[in-house]
Structure 1
Amino acid sequence: MPLSDRRILFVHAHPDDEVINNGATMAKYVTEGVQVTLVTCTAGEMGEVLVPDLEHLAFDKEGGLGEHRQGELADAMKAVGVTDHRFLGGFGRFHDSGMSWADDGSATAAEETPDGAFWHADLLVASDLLVEIIRELKPQILVTYDQFGGYGHPDHIQAHRVATYAMELSAVRSYKPELGEAWDVPKAYWVAMSRSQMSEGIKQVRAAGDETSFADWDPDNLPFGATDEELDAVVDATEFVEAKMEAMKAHPTQIALDGPFFALSNNLGNQVWGKEFYRLAKGTLGPVGPDGLEEDLFAGL
């Protein structure tokens, strides 16, 4: 397959993570002719099932949620126009690790994990699978999570580790040439939730009379999210919010239409979902806009 001039690779842990964090960015870049690739590390077999008629798919019942979420992911990618989406090592290679909630409201590893859990995957084995993809696609941009995985989920943390290690290995000329010609990814970003934007959103949701959404969160003391000072880039893709929302609706087992994500949309509209934030993890910051943030992840290349 011939490579386009601009190429971006997203590395996420489970189906639905990609559209919550980057759906509008994906849709915008696809429209601009950028080659957009998504690598998902697990099928999300341990996720909650929010659709009553599908509760039997839960891991602790009949199972089969991963296969169902594979279909949800395909539908979501159609909504944002992404045609190249892959599972790391192929579908089912790494199992969703599950999680539990810590006292501070962040996620943490569960006491028990299933066989083949991504959290326990050999780092080199998993990274080599991504090295081969990086060398095949030669992306100028790689996007993944920060070292905390955004909010502490072990699979998000592992995705960060695998993506970071794979980038380093991919650039080494003498490292496993059978995986392809060495490629040094010029820029990498960590997805970022703007803490100030989320805080304002929660306050507006409550001001509108919704005391259920984010009920356990203190908007003035959120357990995760990036401060304004930590942010480096924002992709303003407000004209692609409809595509992002359709992609989110394609994940009904994970994202409830009457849940907190859509409550934010109802109260803040395009403002909360149309602008997606990033932290520069590798490379040089390009030209910035009036707010001091890059407005294009390819800036400076």
Structure 2
Amino acid sequence: MAVHAHPDDESSKGAATMARYVAEGVDVLVCTLTGGERGSVLNPKMDRPEVVANIAEVRRLEMERAREILGVKQQFMGFIDSGLPESEEEELPEGCFALQPLEKAAAPLIAAVREFRPHVIITYDDDGGYPHPDHIMTNRVSVEAFEAAGDPDRYPGTGEPWQPLKLYYHMGFTKARFEALHEAMTERGIGSPYADWIARWEDRPQKWPVTTRVPCADYFEQRDNALLAHATQIDPDGWFFSCPRELQQEIWPTEDYHLARSLVDTDLPEGDLFAGIHCEELSRAE
């Protein structure tokens, strides 16, 4: 189960991982907590009045196309996008996802966990990956779901208890990854968009170290196609596609994660989100 804040997040974070596991026969469900109703049109080619006026419906259609490309299942959890404040003083809109009480915000996700019964959940770290209020709230409800879904005394009326075994945070936007891509692009005479970004990176220890690298380079094209399906959010001529796919496959052929919770024994570093789970399931069967 991949838990995300908005449509398009599933395609920019962990999409190749999901596509790989789908190809291997794993059932994958994307839970999208909001509809992205307050998102801006970030692709200038799509910045048209009819699109802006119907952004919620357009983004749902984009999500459906991306879902089909990745081969995953997908559910909206029904909350309203909080938007991204332009300053710390700006108040969030009444009724938005980020202002919901934790128990109310987590209940639909816990119901989804209890129905879908995932062994693994992937989501954002406690900073949200970046400080969007919906991303931070997504971390909170994901942790709550992991810790509460297996407890029969919590969240009554949301289905039979089910305990996931591992919880991961996305670690795709790391300094090490962008330095490696920047160096490779520079060496090969390809203009890199990452120099200024790396220069501004705060020189501090990584809060959540990478524990798990999932090889999935064969699915980068599928990932890119899913991302392009979110046409209002992704400019095909933008920075996201500035590094040639073949170079990414060579230099950084994995998607990376931090193992935040585990109820099974596993050796770090890992190369599989299901490390330790296969043995656990065999022991249960015996």
Report the TM-score when normalising by structure 2: 0.85
2:284 corresponds in structure 1 to none
Tell me what 2:6 maps to.
14
Equivalent residues in 2 for 1:38-117 (5 A)? 38-49=30-41, 50-56=43-49, 63-82=53-72, 84-88=73-77, 93-100=78-85, 111-117=90-96
User: Within 2, Cα distance between the matches of 1:45 and 1:215?
Assistant: 33
Q: Contact 1:190–1:279 at 8 Å: present in 2 too?
A: yes
Shift in Å, 1:201: 2.3
After superposition, give the CA deviation of every residue in 1:83-134 in whole Å (9 maximum; x if it has no partner). x10001xxxx322112146xxxxxx767143343111122111111111111
AA partner of residue 119 (structure 1): A
Is the 1:195–1:226 Cα contact (8 Å) retained in structure 2?
Answer: no
Q: 1:3 maps to which residue?
A: none
- Percent identical: 34
Matches within 5 A, 1:197-216: 197-205=177-185, 208=189, 210=191, 213-214=193-194, 216=196
Q: Secondary structure at the match of 1:264?
A: coil
In the alignment, is residue 240 of structure 1 matched against residue 219 of structure 2? yes
Alpha-carbon distance between aligned partners in 1 of 2:248 and 2:49, rounded to the nearest angstrom: 34
**C-alpha distance in 1 between matches for 2:18 and 2:144:** 24
Task: Quote the residue 1:265 is aligned against.
Answer: 244
**TM-score normalised to structure 1 length:** 0.81
More helix, by proportion = 2
- 5+ residue gaps, structure 2: 278-286
8 Å contact from structure 2 (residues 7, 63) kept in 1: yes
Q: Residue 74 and residue 188 in structure 1: after superposition, are their counterparts in 2 closer, same or farther (change >3 A)?
A: same
Q: Deviations over 1:125-152 (max 9, x none)?
A: 1111111111111111011100000011
SS at match of 1:33: coil
Answer whether contact 1:94 1:121 (CA < 8 A) is retained.
no
CA deviation digits over 1:182-220, x for unaligned, max 9?
Answer: 112111001112320122324555664636x35752x14
Shift of 1:281: 0.9
Distance 1:85 1:215 in 2: 36
The CA distance in 1 between the partners of 2:203 and 2:244, in whole Å, is 20
Looking at structure 1, the residues matched to 50 and 265 of structure 2 have their Cα atoms a distance apart, in angstroms, of: 46
Deviations 1:235-291 (A, max 9, x none): 111111111111111112111111111012358332467411000111157555xxx
Match for residue 275 of structure 2? 299
Which residue identity is paired with 1:68?
A: V
Aligned-CA RMSD value? 2.7
Say whether 1:139 aligns with 2:118.
yes
- CA shift for structure 1 position 177: 3.6
Distance 1:48 1:280 in 2: 32
1:104 matched residue in structure 2: none
**2:74 partner letter:** H
